[in-house]
Structure 1
Amino acid sequence: MVSLPLEAQKIEPTTPVWSLYVDDSSNQQGCGAGLVFTTPDKVAMEYAFRFKFKASNNEAEYEALIVGLRLAKNIGVKLIDIFSDSQLVVNQVTNNFDVKDSSIATYLAQTQLLLKHFHYQITQIPLAVKSHADALVHLASAMEDKIGRKIQVGLLAAPSTMAAEIEHNK
């Protein structure tokens, strides 16, 4: 189960639509995900995740989306606008691109199961639009320990398609 920061547990939405910006990073320094939730009241909740496993860029983007959807489900979100810079992920989720890789097919299936809990819209956006999530993901993928006290940093021990649990650094 994903644990939430205290401020997320206290938020009562006054209008139904939340926003989720997701980003990934997969490079020689490591893999990670950055998420920015914006509540209906325009409160931003930031998350950075470092993976304890290797992932391609597309797998890492799906990891970011899956973790974000799990968090949204745990908060009780029903309506969500999702934003990603990944043309592949957005178009696979909207059934505009076929899946050619078995690993990605597993990620898409997991994503589709989670999306059943929401009324959602997913939109591809230019990288510059989500620079906030981009900054978080680079923080997560570049550093091992002692990342800022105000940013929730979690560790994914295994791919989300294996029902990974998330550990938060203290």
Structure 2
Amino acid sequence: MRGLMLAGLAGEAEPYRRLLDELSRLLRAFYGRRCPPGVDAEDLVQETLIAVHTRRATYDPGQPFTAWAYAIARYKLIDALRRGRAHLRAPAEAADELFAPPEAPGGADAAMAARDLARVMAELPPPTRELIHETKIEGLSTREAADRHQMTESAVKVAIHRGLKALGGKYGGASADED
């Protein structure tokens, strides 16, 4: 798709049309998996195609095209959720899925998730951030993390729980009193 975008930026109409057709198909699948009831996926596809077209000059040819396009799509979905006051909630049991290693398969979604995770984790105090990273991303046991930081296992568990709860309260829509 990058080649089609570059050809389109060079003024070639046919490759650009093929790019938009292919991107339409990918966006329908992207939004089909993510849109809650009440959010029209087809409207979002059209809004995203318009945004890609109007912002095409901001595309960096040195970067993957799909990551750029999916970033636009993600922001369009967030805008639609805000407009409709729709809220997506994930159960606390699914928190481990947020901490998949960045090198995991998944392409643009994985790259965006890794970038977002780094941004969110930067808001935590360094000791808590390190404990969460070591246990949830690196796969250390709480015992190993406790030994590494000269803490008790209970203190590690409490720090991780409080860190995840703070992030959940800020980004997950849960109140601070919920567990």
Instruction: Give TM-score scaled by structure 1 length.
Output: 0.29
Larger helix share, 1 or 2? 2
Instruction: Give TM-score scaled by structure 2 length.
Output: 0.28
Larger strand share, 1 or 2? 1
